[in-house]
Amino acid sequence: MEGLRLGRATVDQLAAVVAGVLADVPPYPPAAFSGRGVVMVGGGLHYLIPAWASLSVLRKSGCHLPVEVWFPVAEQPSRPAVAALEGLGGVAVRTLDVVDLQQRGFALKSAALLLSSFQEVLFLDSDNLAVRDPSPLFASPQYAATGALFWRDFWDRSSVPEIHEVLRFPNEQVPKVTFESGQMVIDKARHWRGLLLAVYMNVYGKTFAELLSCYLGKGDKETFVYAMLAAGEAYWVSPQPPGSAGVVQVLCEPGRAASCRRQFMGNTMVQPGPDGLPLFFHANYEKWDLALPAAFEAYQRRWQVLAPGGQDVVGGVFLNTSYGIGYDVERHVFQVLSALRCAPWFTAYYQLRLALDDPPLPALDGFHPLPNYISFRPFYRLGWSGAYMGLFRPSLGDRLVHAYYRVLRWRLKPLERRLKGKK
């Protein structure tokens, strides 16, 4: 985007490394994996609380697939917490006690996916709610044809121009979009080579994250699709861009009441199933926590409006039985998390996590803080393009600023660098 390119020596060196990894991939071990299941990575309070909500909603949706929740060694929950998780039904708690595996960072996701006992995996981020039963994904024509299902992120491609040379696939196959790894469906038998390359790319994430994405969403999310491209493996990507659930707020410029405007503020990415209906509510911007009022009547809903379209979430999505949901998901999460804070095992677990430097939960003072929201307008004004552009209405001034940063600014960059070099 800034007109910078990788040097030929760097491209050749990286391409040789990738080719070497693919050449050394051992044969798929069919005896090591079997069946279908859900995989999730847990952690301390920051991840266990949303995971508890996610698992509860998963079972509420009617999904009976077995689940493995993987924890880093230092964040292994207490025995009572393990028993509580397993009490949700069909949940196994496992530890990422792998030699030389960094116990933090995005490599944990690919490691858990690889090491899980299942051959066919639905990976879910701990803050992702499957509001309908996701089991039919394994029976979908898209999965039968490819063995891998992925979903789009809000942003257009920002990988380096030479990425097809590094990974050695045709330039015309470079995706024009970015991807979101909060939910993935992968058959290890059909994607063994691509999966192992993705693990490698995440172990060396400081290198590959810079190649695959700009500052928006750096991490593991691009590695799985690009690794499969490098391995020559087929995959499916949802043709429908993500939506966003949030609220509509009135925003005013300080001292200029006349410039007030209504603006959508999202906090949760909404991904559709192959049928186009909402399937995943990924609360990746503001994870669930226990800062809740005593009664739901005092609770400020985070999911009021679904964009694009402005559809009412409660009456138009959750309570619409044609979607297969048929209940108020947000009220259910409130009830589940309220009960969690009062669970007999939770106080001891909370004290343990505090001793291990987890941040304390906010005190309940008769109110609860509103979740943070993401405003897409600043990204638009900085020149970013993508599916998010359908989630709000830019003004004429916004469009002019967007055009400057999107086109003119980057055409002037080489001249700016040359002028600086002459000084």
Residue 228 CB partners (closer than 8 Å, separation 6+):
148, 191, 194, 198, 234, 235
Q: For the chain, where do the domains classified as CATH 3.90.550 start and end?
A: 8-237
CATH 3.40.50 for the 8-237 domain, yes or no: no
Please report how the helices 346-355 and 79-86 are oriented relative to each other, as an axis angle in degrees rounded to 10: 130
pLDDT digits (tens, 9 = 90+) for 59-103: 999 999 999 999 988 888 889 999 999 999 999 999 988 766 665
Residue with tokens 């600086």: 420
Residue 189 CA to its chain's centroid (Å) = 24
Q: What pLDDT score was predicted for residue 1? A: 45
Among 120, 109, 60, 113, residue whose Cα is nearest residue 89: 60
Length of the chain: 423
Q: Which pLDDT tens digit goes with each residue over 222-279?
A: 999 999 999 999 999 999 999 999 998 877 777 656 677 788 888 999 999 999 999 9
Residue of higher predicted confidence among 112 and 385: 112
**Cα distance between the two ends of the chain:** 25
Q: Do 333 and 53 contact (CB within 8 A), yes or no?
A: yes
**Mean pLDDT of the 182-196 span:** 98
To which residue do tokens 């207490």 refer? 78
pLDDT digits (tens, 9 = 90+) for 348-380: 888 888 888 888 877 665 555 666 677 788 888
pTM, full prediction = 0.91
Percent of the chain with pLDDT over 70: 91
pLDDT at residue 164 greater than cutoff 90: yes
* pLDDT computed for residue 402 by the predictor: 85
